[in-house]
Amino acid sequence: MMTEQHEPKSTMIRYLLGQMSDSERTSFESQYQKDSPLFYELAALENDLIDLYALGALSEAEQKRMRSFMADPDRQKRLAFARTLARHSGPGVENVRPSVPEAPTSWFSWEGSKRLAVRAIAATMIVGISWLFLANRNLRRELEVLRNQQLSAEKKEQALEQQIDALTGELEDRGKSAKSIEQAPLLAQNTVSFSLRSDVVRGDGPAPPLAIPPSTDFVVLDVTVPGQAPSRYDLFLETADGNLVLRQERVRGKSVDGLNTQLAIKLRSHILKDGDYVLRVAATVGQKTEDVAGYGFRVVHR
pLDDT of residue 83: 83
pLDDT of residue 102: 39
pLDDT of residue 231: 61
Would you say 248 and 266 are in contact if contact means Cβ atoms under 8 Å apart? no
Residues with Cβ within 8 Å of 249's Cβ and at least 6 positions away in sequence, in order, are 232, 234, 235
Strand order in the sheet with 288-301: 209-212, 288-301, 275-285, 233-239, 244-251
pLDDT in tens, the chain (302 residues): 443 344 578 888 888 888 889 999 999 989 888 888 888 888 888 898 888 888 888 888 888 888 888 888 888 888 888 888 777 665 544 444 443 333 333 445 555 555 566 667 777 788 778 788 788 888 888 888 998 999 899 999 989 888 898 898 888 888 776 665 555 444 456 888 888 875 555 555 677 898 999 888 899 998 888 876 566 788 899 998 989 999 988 888 887 777 788 888 888 988 999 999 988 888 877 777 788 888 889 999 88
Residue boundaries of the structural domains of the chain: 1-183, 191-301
The whole-angstrom separation of Cα 28 and Cα 12 is: 9
pLDDT of residue 110: 52
pLDDT of residue 139: 87
What is 191-301's CATH topology? Immunoglobulin-like (2.60.40)
pLDDT of residue 284: 77
pTM above 0.85, yes or no: no
